Amino acid sequence: MIAIVQRVSEAFVKIEGKIKGEIQIGFVVLLGVTHTDTKDDIEWLSKKIVGMRIFSDEDSRMNLDLNSINGNILLISQFTLYSSTKKGNRPSFIVAARPEIAIPLYEKMIFQLEKDLGKSIQTGEFGADMKVSLINDGPVTIILDSKNKI
């Protein structure tokens, strides 16, 4: 799994002109799923996201995690994170998991993030045409790859 974690002061996702999910301070997480992802990838990535200390403390140092600031998560599925651009100018998405594999893993990620964060998270809708708006705070953007844990 690949996650792009963006520290935000606010964010929302619209589907067909209606807000589906909305948060104030916290993370927008763009999640890509590949066909080899497992429960271990979900657990590792969720703990990493929830424990990420990238919010400023009283000394303006990135030292606080989501729980410390009562932050929230807006999770958006994004198969394009597994694009291959090696040949030509049209990306290939063959490494991205097909919906029959990706949807259950995405749903398990929602459950795991809620468990690790200790509260409900906001989401987009898998496979929908979504419009995501956010104010990236910092900007701070972190890339996490469960297959590259070093």
Is 80 catalytic? The answer is yes
CB 66 within 8 A of CB 117: yes
Token reading at 15: 């589907």
Among residues 36, 38, 80, 141, the one annotated as catalytic is 80
Among residues 6, 34, 78, 123, the one annotated as catalytic is 78
Is 79 catalytic? The answer is yes
Among residues 27, 79, 112, 122, the one annotated as catalytic is 79
Q: What is the CA radius of gyration of the chain?
A: 15
Distances (CA, A) of 136 to 4, 27, 124, 126, 133: 12, 9, 18, 23, 10
Query: Catalytic residue numbers?
Result: 78-80
